Chains A and B, each alone.
Chain A
Amino acid sequence: MLNYILRRLLIAIPTILILVIISFVLMFAAPGGPFNSERPLPPQTLANIEARYGLDQPYVVQIFNYIKNIVLHFDFGPSFKYKDLSVTDIIAQGFPVTLTYGFWSFVVAVVSGVSLGVVAAIRHNSKVDYAAVGVAIGASVLPNFVLAPILLLIFTLWLGWLPGGGWNGGQIEYIILPVIALSTSYFASIARLTRSSMLEVLNTGFIRTARAKGLPMRRIIWKHAMKPTIMPVLSYLGPAFVGMITGSVVIDVYFSTGGIGQYFVNSAFNRDYSVIMGITILVGCLTILFNLVVDILYAWIDPKIRY
């Protein structure tokens, strides 16, 4: 097992390297640059700025220096757009924010999604089931960019219960709306996945055997049905978790949380090369890490799987 983990981590290195190179190439292939604006800079000023950020070097040298600085100094460079900040500053400030609201969204989505899915499956074809499916479908067709402004209207403008945005060090009243908006669609997917998986499991032979033995329903569900049910859900949860903790541009834009989700989109629009790279590497590493975690969990839950 340890051997397997080590091997996976080693493979991650060239994977990240390829990611870096592809991102670099795509980035420079895009028209424009970080210092273009409505009023173009005079050539001399532009040259001074490009020299300061090393953009006057050939691309190959830039990529090499970039990777060298990360490996040797763990330095991702300065942001080209936000000149008072380095990429490390941006991630150090924004990532804890998205991690917080992403983590709570994950907890909310998993707990409510799995519960609803299980209840719906147990009461298959009953009113409870129909209601649960209705809720799940409703939640999945309601995109968060529609949900977020609606939440703001209801809870901030009409009821005046919660602040309409900001983070303020992560106080609870600032977290509630982002968590609702982010978790809804994940909740819906988890509920539907759990329901169909549970239905399938409940129709298998070993469950029928357990029932025939006269085991109480609660015990059958928890002791026997839950583990196999969770397997397909688990493979969804790995990427979903990464998706949630790296935030969402919609959440950051609508709730002004200051998280890193917005940089995914903004840095590309701004051609803020160093931020694009920093965020790409961060998400790349997290994706690799959590896919590995999911695989390890698989082995732990399902004894048939061995690495």
Chain B
Amino acid sequence: MTVKNILKGGTAAFVLGLGSAAAAQDSSFTMRMLDESPSIDPSLIEDVSGSDIARQLFEGLMNQDAEGNVIPGVATDYEVSEDGLTYTFNLRDGAVWSDGEPVKASDFVYSWQRAANPETASPYAWYIELMSIENASAVIAGEVDPSELGVEAPDDSTFVVHLTTPLPYFPQMVTHTTTFPVPEHVITELGDAWVEPGNMVSNGAYVLTERVPQERLVAERNEMYWDNENTSIEEVVFLIINDENVALTRYLAGELDRTEVPTGQYPSLSEEYPDQAVSVPSLCTYYYNYNLRDTGPEWAQNADVRKALSLAVDRDVLVENVLQAGQIPAYTFTPGATAGFEVPEVPFATMTQEERNEMAQELLAGAGYGPEGEPLEVEILYNTSEGHRQIAVAVSQMWQQTLGITSTLANMEWQTFLEERGNGNFDVSRAGWCGDYNEASTFLDLMDSGSGYNDAAYVNEEVDTMLADAKTAENPQELYTQIEQIVAEEMPVIPLYHYTSVFMLNPAIQGWPYDNVQGNFYVKDFTLSE
């Protein structure tokens, strides 16, 4: 044991001896995670908490600033070819791995090939495909060798990407953790064991020093990081606390700097701790799918009925009385917080609820259902959770009161729910979608008849064409507006609300990116106030 380690151990014991309220005092940032991350290997990351960890340990070509704008990361700048198909990134000189080896363009080539390689079996291989990189699909399918992927390193500081279609938001996409570099020289030597503390070599502001599954993950300042002198926080600690109420108790006891606010507790917490309780818009939509398959209910084929049910839901009541944490009522599928997206005018967004209810009753009666027509019975399928239940209860009450529809609630354990929803065994099912990148297509692509996430099985050829056109359009907003208007007219889904990220944050932490709707944060940018 070195002197430094002994000192460190001594400090730890001392801090513990003082009790639990010491977490916020030293120069560390401690936050809660819901569950152990499936992986912290950038190529394999599949969840938000894994990305949150990797964003501290690694650095990609581009970073995001506090507003979510793209700023230089390992790359200082980039050039785009005139046809928009070739991106050339210039890597900075000082970028090194935590073992002192320089970060080379070939590390990016290796990393992207590795993510697409079928042998890696990455659950996020599709992201490489989504970036429209040449040969991505063929590599993932194992038809060609990973070396055929459209990425190259002409020299150590130049990384070139070849796309099949021009993507205006491509630079935004390389802030995603799947595109982060991994150290080829370490992985070839250690194999899968490279992710273990002590083995893991990274190029971000912090390095992994401790990982106890289902308990904690600790990362300490990386002295080799090119911008190390501007890093203020010494240590980042992720504590895995499954229960959100326990996490809140521990936050209030001073053990955590950040934790999520449990459902329903935001009003009281924001009153008691106005400087700590935070609610900011995030890039997610909560919605209900109709089952538009032939095997689904007959009434769901009728757009008027679908519209009636959607109109009869009072979104204001949902967000103000049920959710109570600043969520935003949804009348379009894409959240207004999405970069460059102007929320299109859809007629039912500007009506009063009385007008909507009236229209809903007319539409339903016109379709031959409801009190005077054929009685309608709707089953709402959701995965077991108190929050989802409350929403479903409220929605079914609204349908009952406004339209006289009887609805039953069906809750299922998560995996069973996914299976049933995927197989189309439902009338109406809940869903949530969070953007993979900050551009409207990450939402509207779900309306594509070929999308694997189109659980409603919605098919509209016009929408499909427009979505394809939007990919290459100079200004896609016009197409997005039209798509949202068609969706509001045909209503294959019922958008209910746009999420907010609701959490408690130690007021001593300065620099949290409240305005980054993707919630991507870089602890290296934080400081502690005195």
- Collect the chain A residues with CB atoms within 8 Å of residue B192's CB: 84
Is B373 engaged at the interface, CB distance under 8 Å to the other chain? no
CA distance A256 to B240 in the complex (A): 7
Min CB distance A5 to B, Å, is 36
Is A258 engaged at the interface, CB distance under 8 Å to the other chain? yes
Is A253 engaged at the interface, CB distance under 8 Å to the other chain? yes
CA distance A132 to B416 in the complex (A): 47
Is A156 engaged at the interface, CB distance under 8 Å to the other chain? yes
- Collect the chain A residues with CB atoms within 8 Å of residue B317's CB: none
Query: Which one of B245-253, B298-306, B392-400, B458-466 contacts A?
Result: B245-253
Min CB distance A174 to B, Å, is 9
| B residues 118-144 touching A (CB-CB < 8 Å) | 118-119, 121-123, 125-126, 129, 137, 140-142
Is A204 engaged at the interface, CB distance under 8 Å to the other chain? no
Is B422 engaged at the interface, CB distance under 8 Å to the other chain? yes
Q: Which residue of A lies closest to B129 (CB)?
A: A42
The answer to whether B123 and A35 have CB atoms under 8 Å apart is yes
Report which residue of B122, B249, B415 has the largest number of chain A beta carbons within 10 angstroms of its beta carbon: B415
- Collect the chain B residues with CB atoms within 8 Å of residue A256's CB: 214-215, 239-242, 246
The answer to whether A36 and B241 have CB atoms under 8 Å apart is no
- Collect the chain B residues with CB atoms within 8 Å of residue A253's CB: 242-243, 246
Instruction: State the interface size on chain A (CB cutoff 8 A).
Output: 57
Min CB distance B277 to A, Å, is 17
Task: Report A55-81 CB contacts with B as 1/0, cut-off 8 Å.
Answer: 000000000000000000000000001
The answer to whether B419 and A32 have CB atoms under 8 Å apart is yes
Contact of B252 among A32, A157, A171, A269 (CB under 8 A): A157
Q: Which residue of A lies closest to B192 (CB)?
A: A84
Is A102 engaged at the interface, CB distance under 8 Å to the other chain? no
| A residues 163-198 touching B (CB-CB < 8 Å) | 163-168, 171, 173
Contact of A82 among B38, B239, B249, B255 (CB under 8 A): B38
| B residues 223-274 touching A (CB-CB < 8 Å) | 239-243, 245-246, 249-250, 252-253, 255
The answer to whether B418 and A37 have CB atoms under 8 Å apart is yes
The answer to whether B123 and A167 have CB atoms under 8 Å apart is no
CA distance A220 to B464 in the complex (A): 89
The answer to whether B142 and A48 have CB atoms under 8 Å apart is yes
The answer to whether A52 and B253 have CB atoms under 8 Å apart is no
Is B16 engaged at the interface, CB distance under 8 Å to the other chain? yes
The answer to whether A40 and B422 have CB atoms under 8 Å apart is yes
The answer to whether A36 and B418 have CB atoms under 8 Å apart is yes
The answer to whether B453 and A152 have CB atoms under 8 Å apart is no
- Collect the chain A residues with CB atoms within 8 Å of residue B246's CB: 149, 152, 164-165, 253-256
CA distance A165 to B239 in the complex (A): 9
Min CB distance A90 to B, Å, is 6
The answer to whether A153 and B249 have CB atoms under 8 Å apart is yes
The answer to whether A165 and B432 have CB atoms under 8 Å apart is no
The answer to whether B20 and A45 have CB atoms under 8 Å apart is no
- Collect the chain B residues with CB atoms within 8 Å of residue A41's CB: 123, 126, 452
Is A278 engaged at the interface, CB distance under 8 Å to the other chain? no
CA distance A156 to B41 in the complex (A): 35
- Collect the chain B residues with CB atoms within 8 Å of residue A90's CB: 213
Is A33 engaged at the interface, CB distance under 8 Å to the other chain? yes
CA distance A163 to B36 in the complex (A): 20
- Collect the chain A residues with CB atoms within 8 Å of residue B91's CB: none
CA distance A204 to B449 in the complex (A): 81
Known contacts A156-B249, A160-B20, A164-B255; decide if A84 and B216 are in contact (CB<8 Å): no
CA distance A142 to B398 in the complex (A): 39
The answer to whether A262 and B118 have CB atoms under 8 Å apart is no
The answer to whether A258 and B212 have CB atoms under 8 Å apart is yes
- Collect the chain B residues with CB atoms within 8 Å of residue A307's CB: none
The answer to whether A38 and B418 have CB atoms under 8 Å apart is yes
Is B482 engaged at the interface, CB distance under 8 Å to the other chain? no
Q: Which residue of B lies closest to A160 (CB)?
A: B19
Given contacts A35-B123, A37-B418, A42-B452, 11 further A-B contacts (CB under 8 A): A44-B137, A48-B142, A51-B121, A81-B38, A82-B37, A152-B249, A162-B20, A164-B20, A166-B215, A254-B243, A258-B216
Q: Footprint of A on B, CB under 8 Å?
A: 16, 19-21, 35-41, 44, 46, 118-119, 121-123, 125-126, 129, 137, 140-142, 192, 195-196, 212-216, 239-243, 245-246, 249-250, 252-253, 255, 413-416, 418-420, 422, 431-433, 452-453
Interchain residue pairs A-B with the least CB separation, the first 8: A32-B415, A258-B215, A52-B121, A164-B250, A48-B118, A31-B419, A83-B39, A258-B214
